[in-house]
Amino acid sequence: MDAFYASVEQLDNPDLVGKAVIVGGDPKQRGVVSAASYEARKFGVHSAMPMSQAVRICPDAIVLPVRMKRYVELSKQIHAIFQQFTPQIEPISLDEAFLDVTRSLQLFGSEEKIGRVIKDQIREKLGLVASVGIAANKFLAKLASDLDKPDGFVVITEKNRQQTLDPLPVSKIWGVGKVTEKTLKSKGINTIKQLRETPPEILRSIFGDQISHTLRLARGVDNREVESSREAKSISSEQTFATDIADKHILIDVLLNQVEDVAQRLRLNDLEAKTITLKLRYEDFRTITRSNTFNHPTNVTKILWQEAEQVFSKWYKKSAGALRLLGFGVSGLQKAGSGQHELFPEPELEKQKRLDEAFDKIRSKFGHDALRRGK
C-alpha cells in the first residue's frame, strides 16, 4: 500500500487530498513520524523522524494522530480481497504482503491479470492505492513493488530479470546496508552488475559467509517459500527507518508505540500471548532477535511494555548500535482468559485491564495519540 496511514487519513477526509499529511506523535512530546504522504515526503519527511524535525522542514504539514483500529480494519478488508484469489498469503505488516498465486492461474488467468484485478478492487472497493510487484520469487516481487511507487505495477520476468537488476544500486540487495554499501563503493562497486562481475575473493572479504546468498540475489535467485497460515501464529509491528537511528530515546518511543499497537490488536482479536520478541536490524543489515517468555499469557499493555523495556535495556547495554529496523512481536497466542499473569496481584491486574479498556475506547474515538503512556 502507498503511504498507507496517511492515505487512509486522506480517504476519510477528502480535504486532505493533495496536502502534506504526517501521521504520528505529538511534536511537543518527543513524538515520531509513523507515516507521511508523498506530498510531505518531497520535503524530506520520513518514518521514525522526530516529529519536531518533520514540522520544521515541512511547516505547512497537517499532523494527525495514529488511528490503529481504523488501519487494522482496512487491512482486514485488503486481505479479504487477497483471499478471493489465493489462501497463500504471507503478511509482512498491516500494509504489505506476499501472495503466491501459482495454484490460482487456471482459475483466474495470468499472474499479471490477477495483480491488475487485485489492484483495481483495492481502488474501487476501498478508495486506496496499491503498488504491485510480480515476479517468480519474493525478493524480485518485493523489489518490483518498490520500483515505480506510487501507484506502481511492475512485472519482472525471466527475460527482463537481469536487465532490471543490473543498473540498480547495490543497496537494493537485501543484506547490503549503508556500511556495506560504503565499502563496496570504495572498491568501485556501485551497481548490481558490477557486484556480479567482481571476483569472489574481493567480495568474500566484505560479505564473508553471506557471499553465496548475496550473489544469488544479484542474479535474482530466491528460493524462500511464501509462508502462510490460516490462524495467526504471531502479531508484530516493525518499522524500517529511512536513516539509521542510534538515539535511545527515539528508539524507546518507537518501541512503546509498537507495544501499544500490538497489545491493542491482541485485545481486538480476543487473544493473549506468552512470548515477546524484539527484532533489531543494524545498519549493516545484521539482524538479531531477543525474546522473553511469560509463565502465563497476557494482553495487558503494562506487562508487555515492562518486559519489552527490560529486553531492550539489556540489549542496549551490551550491543547498542544504530538501527535501520526495530520491531516488537508476540507469539504463543491463545484465546484470552486462559490464565493470569503472576507479575501483578489480582487487584492490580484488574486495574490494568480496565485501564487498557479505557485507552482502547478513547483511541478508537479520538485517535491513537489521544492518550500516551509514560515511559
Q: Which of 92-106, 117-131, 356-370 has the lowest mean pLDDT?
A: 356-370
Domain boundary among 45, 64, 83: 64
Residues 366 and 238 both lie in one domain: yes
**CATH number for 24:** 3.40.1170.60
Catalytic residue among 96, 181, 225, 272: 96
Domain count, the chain: 4
**CATH number for 251:** 3.30.1490.100
Which residue is associated with the grid cell 540498480?
168
CA 15/CA 17 separation, integer angstroms: 6
pLDDT at residue 162 above 90? Answer: yes
Tens-place pLDDT, residues 281-320: 987 778 899 999 988 899 999 999 999 999 999 999 988 8
The contacts of residue 231 (CB under 8 Å, 6+ apart) are: none
| Burial state string for 186-221 with b = 16 or more CB within 10 A and e = fewer than 16 | eeebbbbbbbbebeeeebeebbeebbeebbebbebe
Q: Is 96 a catalytic residue?
A: yes
Task: Compute the mean pLDDT over every residue in the chain, rounded to the nearest whole number.
Answer: 88
**CATH number for 179:** 1.10.150.20
State the Cα angle at 177 between 279 and 179, rounded to 5°. Answer: 120
Domain boundary among 155, 181, 206: 155
Across the range 176-187, mean pLDDT stands at 87
Give the pLDDT score at 342: 52
Give the pLDDT score at 320: 86
Q: In 10 A of CB 109, how many CB atoms?
A: 13
**CATH number for 76:** 3.30.70.270
Domain hosting residue 266, numbered range: 234-370
Tens-place pLDDT, residues 252-274: 989 998 998 899 888 877 889 99
Residues 140 and 96 both lie in one domain: yes
Residues 260 and 138 both lie in one domain: no
- Tell whether 162 is covered by a domain: no
Residues 107 and 34 both lie in one domain: no
Residues 350 and 252 both lie in one domain: yes
pTM strictly above 0.85: no
- Tell whether 226 is covered by a domain: no
Domain boundary among 106, 133, 155: 155
- Taking phi over 0 as left and psi of -120 to 50 as alpha, with beta for the rest, 109 belongs to left
Please report, as a single letter, which amino acid is at residue 207.
F
Residues 14 and 60 both lie in one domain: yes
CA 356/CA 316 separation, integer angstroms: 28
Residues 78 and 98 both lie in one domain: yes
- Evaluate whether 77 touches 65 at the Cβ level (below 8 Å): no
Residues 265 and 354 both lie in one domain: yes
Give the pLDDT score at 349: 64
Which residue is associated with the grid cell 486462559?
338
- Evaluate whether 254 touches 326 at the Cβ level (below 8 Å): yes
Residues 79 and 135 both lie in one domain: yes
Residue 66, helix vs strand vs coil: coil
- Tell whether 323 is covered by a domain: yes
- Evaluate whether 125 touches 74 at the Cβ level (below 8 Å): no
CA 66/CA 370 separation, integer angstroms: 9
Residues 258 and 362 both lie in one domain: yes
Residue 24's closest CA among 3, 1, 50, 42? Answer: 50
